[in-house]
Amino acid sequence: MSALDPVDPVVPAPAAWHHRGMTAPVPDSARLIAAGAAELLAQNPIQPGRVTPHKAFDGTGVRIRHIAMDANTVLTEHSVPRPILVSVVAGRVRFSIGEVTHTLVAGGIIHVDASVRHDVAADEPSHLLICLLG
């Protein structure tokens, strides 16, 4: 039996998962949210002229929301009662807290304490992941 042959006829050996383009089975104590950026973006496509939220995950101590924003849309000033981590998956946004504005692109991450007012403006079609902590 080669390294690419399945050990079990139903579940291939771990070495075969990547080679065959498969995702490894996920135990009950874990949940695969997306195997890559393309899969994540497809879960909440950009809608013309809109900001659209999508519940990506709710678990112990964390909730994840996927926000899709078309170009020139704004998530108006608001606050969240929990600390958050905001990461840009795709696009370019301006993230403002008071008089300070940060420009974030894909890979950019910002932490915001609980109850801090902020707004987000998309300069181009953008996807954000919001992790609500605690």
Give the predicted TM-score (pTM) of the model: 0.79
CA distance 110 to 118: 12
Q: Is 36 exposed, middle or buried (0-12, 13-18, 19+ CB in 10 A)?
A: exposed
Query: What pLDDT, on the 0 to 100 scale, is given for residue 6?
Result: 42
| Amino acid, res. 12 | P
Helical (H) or strand (E) element with 100: strand 100-105
* pLDDT under 70: residue ranges of the chain: 1-28
Query: What pLDDT, on the 0 to 100 scale, is given for residue 27?
Result: 62
Domains of the chain: 48-133 (2.60.120.10)
